Amino acid sequence: MFVATLLTDPASPCLDRTTVESLRNAWGGSDTRWLEPGVAAEFRVASEPSNRWQVWEDLQTLEVDLVVQPEPGRRKKLLLADMDSTMIRQECIDELADEAGVGDYVAGITRRAMNGELNFESALRERVSLLKGLPEAVIERVFETRIRYMPGGRELVQTMKANGARAALVSGGFTAFTWRVAEGLGFDEHQANTLHIEDGLLTGTVAEPILGREAKLAALEEITARIGITVEEAMAVGDGANDLGMLKRAGAGVALHAKPVVAAECDIRINHGDLTALLFVQGYSRDEFVA
């Protein structure tokens, strides 16, 4: 048995009953269950529809996301999340670079790295080198004045934890930010790269080995083994090429507002919903969310 979930942005609900019922009838689905009126609904189908991706493309024009997945085991026991442009709206290194006067140049490198056009580790070393001499105090100022959480993040983490799951933040960014985000949203643990600082100034170097694509995949395998679950019982979410390893290996890999090269390799693609979409696709209704 499979479940088809239709959802959209809770900030501008546009999922209408006609759209849901038309698809349910076409696919011979079960009765519709509304997870949140105007935002998310689901129904069961006996098998995966052959025209799934064509329907997905058609619904994108209506700003509606569609996820079709096997029903068994869809509620996960681990959330493994990227940070930059996933749990927060910004790329931290781009914001630091802007403070250093090289924002546009670094942002260009970041875009290419996230698109998979550059080696992640080399690109990170180059970008960090341009931060040399930046006062450590800038990190706190950037976090307080520039960094904003992605909508739905707190509900995602707290709801999964309330239902027995563990939450881990695994970032190719920096521990100077992940500990703050992890604390703010309630993650159980976090991993990231460490910026070198001497005499209150960034040295322009980062601790080795750099946490990139392979390290994120290793984190998925290590954490699941440590807490005694399989990788199929984990949900991973990210947006960049360095997330693909964990996205493709986890039981549910979610490409959230992801780069095209990333979304193309994931079965769960969220382009319009916020982070609460990850709860809807697990079958949680709005009244089950924990704030």
CATH no. for residue 183?
Answer: 3.40.50.1000
Task: Give whole-number Cα distances, 254 to 52, 102, 134, 266, in Å.
Answer: 17, 32, 35, 7
The DSSP secondary structure of 246-258, one letter per residue, reads HHHHSSEEEEES-
Answer yes or no: do 123 and 54 share one domain: no
Whole-prediction pTM value? 0.96
Any catalytic annotation for residue 199?
Answer: no
As a whole number of angstroms, the distance between CA 30 and CA 136 comes to 57
Tell me what pLDDT residue 291 has. 83
pLDDT tens string 182-194: 999 999 999 999 9
Answer yes or no: do 66 and 98 share one domain: no
Question: Does position 104 have pLDDT exceeding 90, yes or no?
Answer: yes
As a whole number of angstroms, the distance between CA 101 and CA 117 comes to 24
Residue of 82, 94, 239, 243 marked active site:
82
Any catalytic annotation for residue 31?
Answer: no
pLDDT tens string 246-266: 999 999 999 999 999 999 999
- Out of 72, 89, 122, pick the residue that ends a domain: 72
Answer yes or no: do 55 and 89 share one domain: no
Tell me what pLDDT residue 16 has. 97
As a whole number of angstroms, the distance between CA 210 and CA 194 comes to 9
User: Which structural domain range is residue 35 located in?
Assistant: 1-72
Answer yes or no: do 84 and 46 share one domain: no
As a whole number of angstroms, the distance between CA 225 and CA 129 comes to 36
pLDDT band at 222 (very low <50, low <70, confident <90, very high): very high
Residue of 9, 58, 65, 84 marked active site:
84
